[in-house]
Copies of this chain bind each other. A is one copy, B any other.
C-alpha cells in the first residue's frame, strides 16, 4: 500500500479485498481509510463489522449508518478501516444529462454512453434531483464473522424524495462477480450530507447530470496477515451477492 506516493492514475480502479470475503463474514479488520482514499476520490465500500455504507465523493468519505446518521470518515491512524472498498481517481470521459425512471435505467444508460466498455469496469456519478431514491444501510454484524447475506437481511431501507444529491457508482462485468458486485452498484448521499445509503431504487426529478469513466486497469490488494480472511472458505455465491447487493 505504501508504494504509491504520488497522485493515483486517473480511472484506474483500486480495490481492497473482494466481495466474496464479505459474503463469508470477513469484516473484523481492514485497510485504514486514509490508505484507501490515497488511491482515489470516488468510491464505495463498507466499514469494520459492515457497520453502514461508505461513499467517497470528491475525495471525502462518509459513513451512512443504520440509525440514519451520517458522518465523515475518520482518517486518523486508529480511525476507520474498510474490510472492502473500491475507489478510483474519477476523470469522466462522458458527461451528459438524462432522466432515469428506474434503477434498471442506469444500466441501459451506461450501455448507451459506453458501448465499447461492456466487459470492463465503469465508474459513474449522477448529480441532481431525485423524485424518489430508496437506500439501505447495513446495521452491521451481530457477531464476528456473520455473513453478508444475513447482515443485509436486517437492512433498514428508507425512501427519500424529493431529494438533491449524488450517486457514486461502479458497474462491474459479470465475470467479476464475487471479486466485485457484478452489474450496477451505487451509493447515494444527499447534498446536505445527512442521508443516503446503498441504492435499491431510484427515479430522477427531470434530468440529472451523468458522468461516466471507463476503467481498463484494476489493482486488487488482498488482506495479508488477516487470519479471518485466510480461513474463509471463499466459494463463489453469485446468487447470494445478487440478493444482497443487486
Contacts and interface: CB of A to CB of B under 8 A. Distances in A.
A211 interface: no
A121 to B, nearest CB: 8
A155 interface: no
A189 to B, nearest CB: 29
A225 B120 CA distance: 11
Contacts of A116: 225, 227, 230
B175 A236 contact: yes
Given A9-B3, A177-B236, A118 B231 contact: yes
A224 B120 contact: yes
Nearest to A178: B175
A174 B224 contact: no
B177 A229 contact: no
A156 interface: no
A174 B9 contact: no
A9 B177 CA distance: 28
Interface residues of A, number: 36
Interface stretch (A81-89, A163-171, A213-221): A213-221
B177 A234 contact: no
Given A120-B222, A224-B120, A236 B9 contact: no
A100 interface: no
Contacts of A117: 230
A60 interface: no
A232 interface: yes
A158 interface: no
A9 B3 CA distance: 9
Contacts of A222: 119-120, 216-218
A243 interface: no
The 9 closest A-B pairs by CB, nearest first: A20-B175, A216-B224, A120-B222, A175-B234, A218-B220, A175-B178, A217-B221, A216-B222, A219-B219
Interface of A: 3, 9, 18, 20-21, 116-120, 173-179, 214, 216-222, 224-225, 227, 229-232, 234-236, 238
13 contacts: A18-B175, A116-B227, A118-B230, A118-B231, A119-B232, A119-B234, A120-B222, A175-B179, A175-B236, A177-B236, A214-B224, A218-B219, A219-B219
